[in-house]
Amino acid sequence: MPLLLFIIALVGLLDARPAQAAVTVYPALSGRGDAPVLVVYSSLDEPLAKPMIAGFQSANRDVAVHYEEMLTGEIYDRIVRETDAGKKSADFAFSSAMDLQVKLANDGYAQRSALPMSDRWPVWANWRNTAYALTFEPAVFVYHKPSFVDEAPPSTRAEFVDFLNRRGDAIYGRIGTYDIERSGVGFLFMSRDQEQFGDIWSVIRTMGAAGVKLYSTSQAILERVADGRFVLGYNILGSYAADWASRHPDVGIVLPKDYTVVMSRIGLVPQAASSPELGRRYLEFFMSKEGQTIMARELQIPAVSPEVSGNNTATTMREMLGGQLKPVPVSLGLMVYLDQVKRARLISRWNEVLRLQ
């Protein structure tokens, strides 16, 4: 697993969020009481965001920052509600709900932000200079190392299925994955599986036969892998998994060799921003070499920018794994499963296949 060294410190905490927006105020470093205020709506934990805010304020000493941490759905709903009511909204929105961010951009709730890095940003990560993917986070297999002393853990979906079939009763009830009905990132990964792997339902069917347990959070799965109650976890967010692996030596990580889905957090400037110029300035910092380096080294989340080198970057991962990585494009395709009929159909089939076992 050579890439484990490159992702072991990642920390993307997507699952646990406060019920209401938690507002943290960062006064302007200049001490100005009447300093302009940058308002940020974000699903990233505020403690993780501190280094980025500090870097931005170091370069913009006269700007105060109001950081509002909330659920991804709350970010979407609030921007739409405020805009439709003719009120001002956030200056910058940062969310792991890729589909909802693209919907905001497509439906006119975000404004274009043509920035110095726009033309150099990866094509898959830039939707009409309006919505930008700013992180690079893979979906992985996790495993309980002591359970694989005599054999290597599965490294492809075919090997995953073979392992479950061979071990049968010995591992029954000791496999975990996301409940796609309750986990947004789990649903995203499953929808991409359906597009990337023609025989994905055989994987789901085999997991069902193995008594797979479903959870809405990464933590619930990882803590069970860490203590040996589970031997395997399927399609777990790599950034969260790597944080656990760095603190729990019995947790191992595999980036599937057949294909590895990569999701991103998306940043944009809302159409109804109070200070859109500040929102664009913050987005520009996020995309700059300095900002992406802070994100990779201090937030410990992989950088997208082709200008940033080092282990914790999309560039290095692509050099190591090439076409194995399948980033989710920032495109209208993300909105397919916002159609409630299509979403319900996928969830219904998922539940039916699992229930048949």
Query: What is the C-alpha to C-alpha distance for residues 61 and 170, in angstroms, rounded to an integer?
Result: 60
Separation between Cα atoms, residue 277 and residue 275, nearest integer Å? 5
Dmax (CA) for the chain in angstroms is 68
Cα 293 to chain centroid distance, Å, stands at 18
Write down the pLDDT at residue 3: 45
How is residue 80 written in tokens?
């739409």
Distances (CA, A) of 252 to 200, 228, 266, 286, 334: 23, 12, 28, 31, 30
pLDDT for res 300: 77
pLDDT at 238: 85
List all residues 6 or more positions away from 342 whose beta carbon is below 8 Å from its beta carbon: 336
Distances (CA, A) of 263 to 184, 220, 238: 12, 20, 10
The pLDDT value given to residue 312: 85
- pLDDT at site 21: 65
The amino acid occupying position 241 is: A
Vertex 259: Cα angle to 250 and 268 (nearest 5): 95
Chain CA centroid to CA 309, Å: 21
Cα separation, 267 vs 96, whole angstroms = 9
Listed in sequence order, the residues at least 6 apart from 354 whose beta carbon sits closer than 8 Å to its beta carbon are 204, 205, 207, 208, 212
Cα-atom radius of gyration of the chain, to the nearest Å?
Answer: 21
> What integer pLDDT is reported at residue 11 of this predicted model?
33
- DSSP designation for 337: G
Q: Are the C-beta atoms of residues 326 and 157 closer than 8 Å to each other?
A: no
- Averaged over successive runs of 10 residues, the pLDDT of the chain (357 residues) comes to 39 40 91 94 90 97 96 92 98 94 97 96 97 95 97 96 93 95 88 92 96 92 97 91 90 96 96 98 97 90 91 90 93 90 93 82
**Beta bridge mates, 194:** none
Contact 4, 253 (CB under 8 A): yes
Reported pTM: 0.83
| pLDDT at 314 (0 to 100) | 93
CB-CB contact of 142 with 221 (8 Å): yes
State phi, psi for 172 to the nearest 5 degrees: -60, 130
The per-residue pLDDT for 329 is 95
* Measured CA distances, 85 to 77, 81, 89, 164 (Å): 12, 6, 10, 53
Q: Nearest-5° angle of CA 199, CA 207, CA 218?
A: 105
